[in-house]
Amino acid sequence: MLLCRVLSRPRLPLVHLHRSLSVRSFIQPRRLIKFAVGTTLLAGTGFISYTIYESGPEIEKIRRTSYFWSRMIPVYLHYRYQQLYFKLFPAKSPEEEDEIWNKLHNKYCDYVLNVILHQRGVYIKLGQIASTRPDIIPKPYLKKFAQLQDGVPAQPGEYAREMIEQAFNKPLEEIFSEFNPKAVGAATIGQAHEARLKGSNKAVIIKIQYPEVQRLFGLDFSTLKKFVRLAQPEHAPLFDEFEKAFQIEFDFRREARALDIIGRNIMPRFPNIIIPRPTPGMATEFVIVMEKLDGTKLIDALKIEQARMAAEQGKTLEEFEQEMMAKYLSGELHREAKKRYTPSAFIVNMYASLIRTVNRLKNVYIYIYNHSIVPLLKRFPLEYNEERVFINPHEIIDLLNEVHAQEILLDGIFNADPHPGNIFLLKNGKIGLIDFGQVQELSLSHRLKLAKLIVLLAEGTKEEIVQQYISMGVVTRHMNPYVIEKLARLGFDRDDPETCEGKNAQLFFEELSRKDEVIKVPEGYLMAARVGILLRGLGTWLQLPHSTAQKWAPIAKQLLNTYKDTNEQLLTSPA
């Protein structure tokens, strides 16, 4: 994501920064152009040499780091040069300025996507995160990076067969009665295939990890750290925490254990949640077999719903998405959602049950018609009505927040990646949760401190919030109470226009960093904050913006009440 953040930086301040950084199209001094080209070449060569010197003798290390720097430094410098040029020669209007930036974005978006696909690994992971952040990434990049969610090129079926047979030391036909050689999905660290177990004929999903990916992750994070220190040094502490979090994805035996533990923790308490069960004895470091869920990805269901809404308004899907994105960036989507009536979970479920009943009755009629009238009168058969997937916004948001608060605060083991691509709307009306590679664990001490912060964010004073967040380990250069309180809210409460004082969250975070640089983020809490941020983003798109602290406070109070006699030092000492 940080790769893309640099590219997005000029676009973000559509009103504030762009007005001060613009250019008159008729002024193009040759000296400045020559200076930019020369600087690009010299800096690119210098960084390549520096990286090769720092990277050691390994040929692959040199090749990958050189490839990255030689291609990205010219792009980075072109954007920075354009910013400097805009400062010297302001534009006639914000529209002219936006047009120039968009030309630059369109020039490089395919180029940067190709760099990501060439490097794979961590670059794809960060690109996937970036593709979910319209408040950070310019639209041309956003559209290109969306391909990284489910359009990453997969390895051929023979590669998958070889990995499976190597993992289980058996021919594939002795394990599975059916195997789809075409991957149903490919992402950062591997790909997935559909199959059926031999004997039981049970439908399963096989996840296969690319063996080289773990080694490349360490190398690529090292490269990206240098780039971050150059381009966005204020984000280096966050990037360090992300590196620790991503390193746990590489052993599928750990994911199998997490699926088992979290499944046993959550499903008895939440009957409307389904977590796929790992197949016993079929998890190795690089291959895992698990139950297949029958349903639709929430992200796909949202696209279908958006297409329906666009058609009702007489717009194309692209026009509708542009309008929604503009509202999201301006904060209007938050304001509209607060005013708009959204049917309760009960009403949506009643409506869905009615529609399903009607469709089933229609299908009974179609069945009778197709097997009686059609053969007698030689008519064309009718098509059956497909089962419609209903999106119940209140149920989805409330249930997902309750489930993840339970995982984080009460159980101390949680999935840190609940984005819409990992949430399924199942045909039986339940919600399925998949991809437990990024599972984190929190000690009791960490959970008690976080629970107290959650309650204070929901009900406490600013002074109490600042004191608690400092006790959790946050460090800024000047320890500004205003900045510390806002950082706590952005992480575990809200990032709406009211909290961000009319700015989008990214711009507001950068403003906080300028006021008081973040030296250290509380260790161990970043991925818990990520869960809240992902669910708030989902809530905004479902027209249900919400406060993480308000949603999680009841469970936080439950934890604190259970351990009310615990030594206060657990709550106040640094994490």
Q: How far, in Å, are 267, 375, 410 from residue 407 at the CA level?
A: 11, 57, 6
Q: What is the pLDDT of residues 111-144, one digit of tens each?
A: 999 999 888 878 887 887 777 666 667 888 888 8
- pLDDT of 313: 85
Residue spans per domain, the chain: 50-149+220-248, 157-209+251-292, 298-377, 393-568
Return d(Cα 496, Cα 328) in angstroms, integer.
10
pLDDT score of 52: 47
Report residue 520 CA to chain centroid gap: 23
pTM of the entire structure? 0.75
To the nearest 10°, the Cα dihedral for 449, 455, 461, 467? Answer: 0
Please identify every stretch of the chain with a pLDDT value under 50, giving residue numbers as ranges: 1-29, 31, 49, 52-57, 575
pLDDT value at residue 19? 36
Give the chain's end-to-end CA distance (angstroms, integer). 27
CATH code matching the domain that covers 157-209+251-292, chosen among 3.30.200.20, 3.60.40.10, 1.50.10.10, 3.40.50.12170: 3.30.200.20
pLDDT of residue 122: 81
Helix or strand or coil: residue 413? strand
Q: How far is CA 75 from CA 7, 224, 314, 339, in A?
A: 8, 15, 39, 43
Tens of pLDDT, residue by residue over 381-399, are: 888 877 666 667 888 899 9
What pLDDT, on the 0 to 100 scale, is given for residue 22?
Answer: 36
